Structure 1
Amino acid sequence: MCANRLRHIRSHLLTANKCAEMAGPVSPLTTHVLNTGRGVPGSHMALSLHLLDPNTATWTLLMTGTTNEDGRCPGLITKETFTPGVYKMRFETGQYWESLGEACFYPFVEITFTITDSSQKFHIPLLLSRFSYSTYRGS
C-alpha cells in the first residue's frame, strides 16, 4: 500500500476523534467491550485503530475514540477506507480499570487481525476482566 493512500485514509478517519460522536453509515468493522468481571459494558474505554503498512512494517494510526455507554464504538471506519490488510485495535484497559478505582494485569490489549475481503462485516468483541481477556471474530 502506498504512503499516499495511507495518509489519505488517516486524514479522512482522524476528522472524527471520538467514536461516540461519529455519525454516518454503519461501519463494516465494529467492536463491543464487555466487562465480564462486573457483568456490564466496558464504557468510556479509549481505543485506537491502526493499519500495517506492508512495505515499511510500520503501523499507521487511523482513528482514536472512546466506547459509548453500551461499550460500543460506532463509526470505526468507512466502507470506502476499509481495505484488505492487517489491522490492530488497541484498547487502553489500564486507564479503564484505573478510572474504576481498580488495578489490572494488562495495561492495554492489542487485537491484530487480517482482512482479506473488505466487503464483509467484521465484529471484534473484547471480553475483559482485571486479569484476563478474550476475543473472537463475530459477525
Structure 2
Amino acid sequence: MKTAIDRRAALAALGSGFALAAGAGAARAGALGRDAGGDARLVALAESTISGGEIVPSPPPSGTRLALAPAPERRFSRDSLAARDGEGRTLGYLAGRDARLIAPLLAAGLPIEALVVGRAGRRSLRVRLEARLAG
C-alpha cells in the first residue's frame, strides 16, 4: 500500500510555480478521485509521455498505474525518472521537462504515479501524472 501524505503539505509542496511550469497539462490539473480503498484522493497534475524503454511490442493497457523512480544512471539526464510496471520492468522514461518538475516532488515524499491513458505513437505512451493525497 502506498503511503499517502497530508493534503495541505502536498499543496504547499506543489506551490503555484508547478502549475505555471507544467504548461497545458496544468490546465487539466486538480481532478480528484478516490482509489479502490476509498482512503486517498488522486490529484491529476499534468499529462506527459513515456518513451525509451520496453513499451514495444506489447504496451500496458490504458488504466495501468506505473511507479516513477529516479534513474540517475541514465546518461541523457541525471533528472530522469523511470516508469516501471508492477513487475519492476522499466517501460520507459518520463519526458525530460516533466521529469525535472516531478523529481523534486518525489524526493520530497509526494507519492506520484503515472496512469497510462493511451499510446502516443509507436514507441511512446501518453500518461496522466497523479499525486496521492490523504483523504
Settle same-fold status: TM greater than 0.5.
no
TM-score by length of 2: 0.31
More relative contact order, 1 or 2 (CA 8 Å, 6+ apart): 2
- Which has the higher Rg, Structure 1 or Structure 2? 1
- How does the TM-score come out when normalised to structure 1? 0.31
